[in-house]
Structure 1
Amino acid sequence: MAAVQNEIFAAGLRKTPTDVETVTNTYISDPDRIACTVAVDENGRILGFQSLKLATAAGNPYGVAEGWGIIGTHVSPFAARKGAGKALFRATLEAAEAFGLKDIDASIGADNDMGQAYYEAIGFRTYRTTDDRVCKAYRLG
């Protein structure tokens, strides 16, 4: 998973590189984690991952409403436009429904046109903007 984020960084699509410890703490060990799904190729190489966690008062840098889901998607540039993102969202949506979420937030960098287009394509819609973010919501059932 760290390799995927570092591939995104190397392609100029992420502001900072990362390491295994940060990825583990942020996506696997986070106490508010609902799900973290990976997409792999036929050789077991991780192509991307998508995290879903519960918005709480603490650890909520984008001011997402408490009780909403917070989604994050990371797909290697080598796997872009091959269906990994849609497959990841199908699994994440199942996890969100099982958890009982009603809304999911995707807070995307205002300069991240690819990220914004991805979330629009899977049904997210802009509900607020900040100086540096476009916040999109997906409403469940």
Structure 2
Amino acid sequence: MPKVFVFGTLKEGFPNFKTNKGIRYRGDFATKARYPLYLVGERCSPWLVLQEGEGHPVKGQVFDVTDDVLAEMDTLERITAVDGYRKVSLPVVCLESGDEITVLAYGKPPEMLQDVQVMQELAGEYCLEHAALYRSRSAI
């Protein structure tokens, strides 16, 4: 089963968790490398920008997912759209045990930042206070 690292609205208790029908993998995780994490646009969408070495380690959760659940996540993240997220493999570290695993994650290439409004830069963690600002695509 694929393992998916979620850092934003797909986390347990967050706005798009209903799409995440995976089984939570033990512990909390952070990306091994640093990445910028932003709230973007009027929807305040969380973007992990694929600029390795910039920003902070990004905290999140890891889920074991079936191929069907992964396909649902891919649809939500619009991976085939020009302005959608890109699905990448990257290493994350368990904050409790220090174990490192390679997972799938959704991020945005840095060039996508050129035509968007960054509302806030986050220090490596998307929290419930940020989720309160989020507006789903269907709500606009």
Do both proteins adopt the same fold according to a TM-score greater than 0.5, normalized to the shorter chain?
Answer: no
What TM-score comes out, normalization by structure 1 length?
A: 0.30
From the two aligned structures, give the one with the greater strand fraction: 2
Q: Output the TM-score relative to the length of structure 2.
A: 0.30
Structure number with greater CO (CA < 8 Å, separation at least 6) is: 2
If each structure's helix is expressed as a fraction of its own residues, which one has the higher value?
1
